[in-house]
Chains A and B, each alone.
Chain A
Amino acid sequence: MPLVAYIGLSAILFVIGVMGVLLKRNALTIFMSIELMLNAVNVALAAFARHHGGLDGQIFVFFVMTVAAAEAAVGLAIFIAIFRLKKTTDVTEINLMRW
């Protein structure tokens, strides 16, 4: 398969992720959308690495996965705390930090 197909897939996934972050109200969905964006980048990284014949991109993918896992752990912990307080995961309901 040509490189452009991988890049196209990566772009589509990324846009879907962005749309999810911007439009969804449920915090968990937003989280999943962020994960989608990260993985879209992973696809691109792996494709470019393969194309150029280097290993750097593929190793970087592992880093991204590790960071994504850590981020998910922290983020979920925060949302559990918020859920205990507000009984909701709707991000439009959560605006304590406004002026």
Chain B
Amino acid sequence: MSFLHLIWLIPLLPLAGFVINGLLGKRMPRPVVSGIACLAVLASLVLAVGAIRDLHDQQGLADMLNNGSALSAIGARPGADGFGAVLAPTDPDHGLVLDPSIPRARQIQWTWLSVGNLSVKWGYSLDPLSAIMLLVVLGVGFLIHVYSIGYMAHDEGFARFFAYLNLFMAMMLVLILADSFLVMFVGWEGVGLCSYLLIGFNYRDMFNSARDQSCADAGRKAFIVNRIGDFGFMLGMLLILVTFGSLDFGQVFRGVHVLAQVPGSQGLLTAMALLLFVGATGKSAQIPLFVWLPDAMAGPTPVSALIHAATMVTAGVYMVCRCAALFTAAPLALTVVAVVGGLTALLAAAIACTQTDIKKVLAYSTVSQLGYMFLAAGVGAFSFAIFHVMTHAFFKALLFLGAGSVIHALSGEQDIRRMGRLTRVLPWTFGTFAVAAVAIAGIPPFAGFFSKDSILAAVFYEQPILWVAGAFTAGLTAFYIWRLVFLTFLGSDRVEKERRGHLHESPWSMVAPLVMLAFLATVGGFLGVPAFLAESVPGLHAAAEWLPGYLEPVFREAHVVGAGMGALGFHDPAHGAQVAAGSAAGHGGVTAAGEWGLMALSVLLALAGIAWAWLLHGRAGELAARLAAALGGGYRLARDRFRIDELYDRILLKPFYFMCRAADAFDRFVIDLLVNLVAIATEITGHVLKLFQTGSVRAYALSVFIGVVALVTFLVMS
């Protein structure tokens, strides 16, 4: 019995926390509620760490395989543990299936759906890709749970909040561990539901009174925009099901390999990949479906940190990486992913430079960073995308939690124009926020530097035009995040008088997660030091591209397909392995000198962005206002978020409302008219017939008599 047999418990523990807190939370004291919620996540984290350790225990895996316990599912009979499924011990379709070559452990729990030829099993699979996501989601999730104890301390809906948060964790873990598209879709929809519930958590409050938008409206908007993406995901799943007859990841990707050899199958594969990508654009807030994420900031700040920065929004990236085999078999779809990612990164960064709400800046920053991840996936550098998912989870969760700490201290103030000079009151918040700001700006050796630089280097070889957009975005990123730091913590004190009274540093339960995340945001990047850098810096050799190397087996098959088709010269991770082995200096004619140059350029851009932010906002002066005036229309366009909401209103909602009104008129004047005509005819007939109902016995008798006479006459005559 190893931890691998307990994978099924990982999503179940937070679910149990949700059930307990959801049903009984109101009657339990707050420490018990938060204790249950945090312990459920912590226990899952421990199980996950144990399972991942066992996954890499080659000797243990070999023993299990030799004993036959893996295939015959000894000890992996979840039926005994309340799963309701009784499995035949020799059934290879159930229980634990090990594949030490990747290494991957699949645990099939029960047959969920069995219709005709389709049989969907509820199964989880643990491999390096899901392992990294598990650790990120559970680690950051646990820290944010702890943080929420302090942040939500004064809130009425304490138990409700933790119940939703635990449900979210459960669903996210299902999504990550899923072994088939349909199970993933359950988690996918589940996190969407939790996102909706938590955005609208303060459903009575107004979120944007200028546009008459309540927090509940913001939640609805997020849910509906996500539904549009989910529709694409569902169509993609249906197409996959029709084509391959299965939704199981393994079988589908084997099918993709076969199909990719068939001439003329490109269209089909591209359609599948693009439909799935539509789902990813919804969940991960990419063009054209990114409009919900900024409004999702209506939720409490820990929610923004957990769901709308660190975990849920990266589900789209995770899904694309999970389907790497499919996407590499459809180069056109991959190009679309890269272009959409690059454009989103640039557009959102430009908007982030002009916003004045601290959480809005971070929201657009998240959209922009997600764009980077898709950019990486779009050039086939899937492991760099996951690397950035990880580092981004660290520093962006930290930024959001820091922003939450500021908002908490200022009793709800979110406008950075009414902040400033908070360093002395909030020393811990400022320190950790600054670490995160350095990390996202891409200054070595903080986490964001390594992941962003790896992505930009990979993009440079595959899509030079998009590299320009990505590099420019890197500069913008450094600018907007340091603009935020200068305006929030430094500069002149613009805090309103009545809010100054309760200025205070946050309690330990909020500061401790900040410090933990700051540590992770500082060192997280060393998991993926570029090979050429590791070569030349003593002591770093062991760290050379550890993470890409770790993920490599998962993406290996995908790269075999892609390389076989000659569509993409894969930069990662074969390239990394090459360099690490010292067998070749570079890839596609690029030398180590080129790599150094690229890296120096991106650091320079980051420093330029920070300097520019200091010039505009770090010191007193009218430069920022003058520049805004000089940019005129462009600045106003960015400040108004490029009026994309208004554009959608114009080109989508207005015609839709018109269609609704037309349908309403058709219903009213055509369908209702027909129905009413029948009713009117019945009524008129009734009015005529009632005249016979005189109530006079003699009249009735006469009519009976006449009837009899007529009948008899008729019978006699015939």
Which A positions have Cβ atoms within 8 angstroms of B? 18, 21-22, 30, 91-92, 94-99
Contact of B705 with A22 in the complex, beta carbons under 8 Å: yes
6 contacts between A and B (CB under 8 A): A18-B705, A21-B701, A22-B705, A95-B695, A97-B693, A98-B696
Contact of A94 with B693 in the complex, beta carbons under 8 Å: no
A36 CB to closest chain B CB (Å) equals 14
Q: Which of A18, A21, A30, A95 contacts B696 (CB 8 A)?
A: A95
B710 CB to closest chain A CB (Å) equals 15
Contact of B702 with A98 in the complex, beta carbons under 8 Å: no
- Whether B694 is near chain A, meaning CB under 8 Å from some CB there, is yes
A60 CB to closest chain B CB (Å) equals 20
A62 CB to closest chain B CB (Å) equals 25
What residues of chain B lie closer than 8 Å to A21, measured between beta carbons?
701
Contact of A97 with B695 in the complex, beta carbons under 8 Å: yes
Taken residue by residue from 669 to 698, chain B's Cβ proximity to chain A (1 for < 8 Å, 0 otherwise) reads as 000000000000000000000110111111
Please measure, in the bound complex, the distance between the C-alpha atom of A91 and the C-alpha atom of B690, giving whole angstroms. Answer: 20
The chain B residue sitting closest to A24, CB to CB, is B698
Contact of A95 with B705 in the complex, beta carbons under 8 Å: no
B144 CB to closest chain A CB (Å) equals 75
Q: Which of A18, A92, A98, A99 contacts B698 (CB 8 A)?
A: A92
Q: From known contacts A18-B705, A22-B702, A22-B705, infer whether A98 and B694 are also in contact, taking CB-CB under 8 Å.
A: yes
The chain A residue sitting closest to B700, CB to CB, is A97
What residues of chain A lie closer than 8 Å to B693, measured between beta carbons?
97-99
User: Which applies to chain B's interface (DSSP): helix, strand, loop or mixed?
Assistant: helix
What residues of chain B lie closer than 8 Å to A94, measured between beta carbons?
695, 697
Contact of A98 with B701 in the complex, beta carbons under 8 Å: no
Please measure, in the bound complex, the distance between the C-alpha atom of A30 and the C-alpha atom of B696, giving whole angstroms. Answer: 14
A26 CB to closest chain B CB (Å) equals 12
Contact of A99 with B701 in the complex, beta carbons under 8 Å: no
What residues of chain B lie closer than 8 Å to A18, measured between beta carbons?
705
Please measure, in the bound complex, the distance between the C-alpha atom of A21 and the C-alpha atom of B701, giving whole angstroms. Answer: 8
Contact of A98 with B695 in the complex, beta carbons under 8 Å: yes
Please measure, in the bound complex, the distance between the C-alpha atom of A76 and the C-alpha atom of B554, giving whole angstroms. Answer: 99
Please measure, in the bound complex, the distance between the C-alpha atom of A11 and the C-alpha atom of B694, giving whole angstroms. Answer: 30
The chain A residue sitting closest to B695, CB to CB, is A98
The chain A residue sitting closest to B708, CB to CB, is A18
What residues of chain A lie closer than 8 Å to B705, measured between beta carbons?
18, 22
B699 CB to closest chain A CB (Å) equals 9
What residues of chain A lie closer than 8 Å to B702, measured between beta carbons?
22
What residues of chain A lie closer than 8 Å to B694, measured between beta carbons?
95, 98
B273 CB to closest chain A CB (Å) equals 72
Please measure, in the bound complex, the distance between the C-alpha atom of A98 and the C-alpha atom of B698, giving whole angstroms. Answer: 13
Contact of A91 with B698 in the complex, beta carbons under 8 Å: yes
Please measure, in the bound complex, the distance between the C-alpha atom of A42 and the C-alpha atom of B308, giving whole angstroms. Answer: 97
Contact of B695 with A91 in the complex, beta carbons under 8 Å: no
Contact of A22 with B698 in the complex, beta carbons under 8 Å: yes
A45 CB to closest chain B CB (Å) equals 18
Please measure, in the bound complex, the distance between the C-alpha atom of A99 and the C-alpha atom of B694, giving whole angstroms. Answer: 7
A76 CB to closest chain B CB (Å) equals 15
B395 CB to closest chain A CB (Å) equals 83
Please measure, in the bound complex, the distance between the C-alpha atom of A75 and the C-alpha atom of B641, giving whole angstroms. Answer: 89
Please measure, in the bound complex, the distance between the C-alpha atom of A91 and the C-alpha atom of B702, giving whole angstroms. Answer: 14
A49 CB to closest chain B CB (Å) equals 22
Please measure, in the bound complex, the distance between the C-alpha atom of A92 and the C-alpha atom of B690, giving whole angstroms. Answer: 19
The chain A residue sitting closest to B693, CB to CB, is A99
Taken residue by residue from 699 to 717, chain B's Cβ proximity to chain A (1 for < 8 Å, 0 otherwise) reads as 0011001000000000000
What residues of chain B lie closer than 8 Å to A22, measured between beta carbons?
698, 701-702, 705
Please measure, in the bound complex, the distance between the C-alpha atom of A18 and the C-alpha atom of B707, giving whole angstroms. Answer: 13
What residues of chain A lie closer than 8 Å to B696, measured between beta carbons?
91-92, 95, 98
The chain B residue sitting closest to A98, CB to CB, is B695
Please measure, in the bound complex, the distance between the C-alpha atom of A92 and the C-alpha atom of B696, giving whole angstroms. Answer: 6
What residues of chain B lie closer than 8 Å to A91, measured between beta carbons?
696-698
Top 4 A-B pairs, shortest CB-CB distance:
A98-B695, A95-B695, A99-B690, A97-B695
Please measure, in the bound complex, the distance between the C-alpha atom of A96 and the C-alpha atom of B693, giving whole angstroms. Answer: 11
The chain A residue sitting closest to B696, CB to CB, is A95
The chain A residue sitting closest to B694, CB to CB, is A98
What residues of chain B lie closer than 8 Å to A97, measured between beta carbons?
693, 695
What residues of chain A lie closer than 8 Å to B690, measured between beta carbons?
99
B119 CB to closest chain A CB (Å) equals 66
Which of B693, B695, B702 gathers the greatest number of chain A CB atoms within 10 Å?
A: B695
Given A95-B696, A98-B694, 6 additional A-B pairs, CB 8 A: A21-B701, A22-B702, A30-B697, A91-B697, A94-B697, A99-B691
Please measure, in the bound complex, the distance between the C-alpha atom of A43 and the C-alpha atom of B701, giving whole angstroms. Answer: 23
What residues of chain A lie closer than 8 Å to B697, measured between beta carbons?
30, 91, 94
Please measure, in the bound complex, the distance between the C-alpha atom of A25 and the C-alpha atom of B702, giving whole angstroms. Answer: 13
What residues of chain B lie closer than 8 Å to A98, measured between beta carbons?
693-696
